[in-house]
Amino acid sequence: MTVVLKLGGSVVTRKGEPETVDEEALDRAVRAVAAVAPDDLVLVHGGGSFGHPAAEHHGVSRSDGTHDAVAVCDVHRAMVRLSEAVVTRLHGAGVRALPVRPLSAGARDAAGDLSLWPGSVETMLAAGFTPVLHGDVVADVDRGATVVSGDELVAALSADLSAERVGLCSAVPGVLDDAGEVVPRIERFEQVADVLGGSESTDVTGGMAAKVRTLLELGVPASIFGLDELGAFLSGETPGTLVEA
């Protein structure tokens, strides 16, 4: 059973402090993964205070690209530094983690659609490793190179690997309603459109509205939960908000 788990950039890094790992949060996440990792676990993490400042500095986003190779490598290396921190801690906890770089395994066509080759991830899983992907830059036929978010990778991996469960470990305990309570289940976007800003919201930052819309299209049960519930999710429970169309 393949499980795709994303550790949010805001969970594993200190937002606002450039290139700073949240050591305590990352250690908790790593301990949870080491304790109850399913057989076929694919990890993805976001950019947090590593990728986002570098991408902003160079004016690169999912829609705005650059043909400057130095800028591309600058953003990529920032994300590799975070990935190395995550992978090294996983090794320390006995998890056989291997990095997969979206810049090498992915690309965008002229329509901006992402191709992500699943071959290395599949083979790593078959050989007993735990692949670790991350938000990154990818070559883009028309725009040079553009950003690929962790959420976009989760969607691509979920489809390509026929994942049975998807988890997004975020800085909040789930999708919250007007009263600040976790919405236990979302089957249609309209259920939460009011509280998330509506389906017309131009949410380009990977915020909650975009996450929910992406997850509703997966065709796979997806949970959004906080770090406190990561162990429960990995044990097979559905903490936080379950998103399933």
Residues that bind a second copy (CB under 8 A): 67-70, 72-73, 76, 87, 91, 95-109, 115, 117, 119-120, 122-124, 126-130, 138-145
Q: Residues 168, 153, 23, 236: is their CA dihedral positive or negative?
A: positive
For residue 33 the two structure tokens come to: 């993964």
Q: Which is nearer to a second copy, 68 or 203 (CB)?
A: 68
Q: Which is nearer to a second copy, 16 or 119 (CB)?
A: 119
Q: Which is nearer to a second copy, 106 or 206 (CB)?
A: 106
* Least distance CB 85 / a second copy (angstroms): 13
Q: Residues 126, 155, 153, 4: is their CA dihedral positive or negative?
A: negative
CB 93 within 8 A of CB 131: no
DSSP 8-state class, residue 237: -
* Least distance CB 78 / a second copy (angstroms): 14
* Least distance CB 127 / a second copy (angstroms): 5
Q: Which residues contact 91 (CB under 8 A, 6 or more apart)?
A: 97
Q: In sequence order, what are the beta bridge partners of 21?
A: 13
* Least distance CB 12 / a second copy (angstroms): 19
Strand 222-226 relative to strand 165-170, pairing:
parallel
Give the distance, in angstroms, between the CA of residue 229 and the centroid of all CA atoms in the same chain: 17
Distance of alpha carbon 129 from alpha carbon 132, whole angstroms: 10
* Least distance CB 111 / a second copy (angstroms): 13
Q: Which is nearer to a second copy, 139 or 245 (CB)?
A: 139
* Least distance CB 91 / a second copy (angstroms): 5
**3-state SS, residue 45:** strand
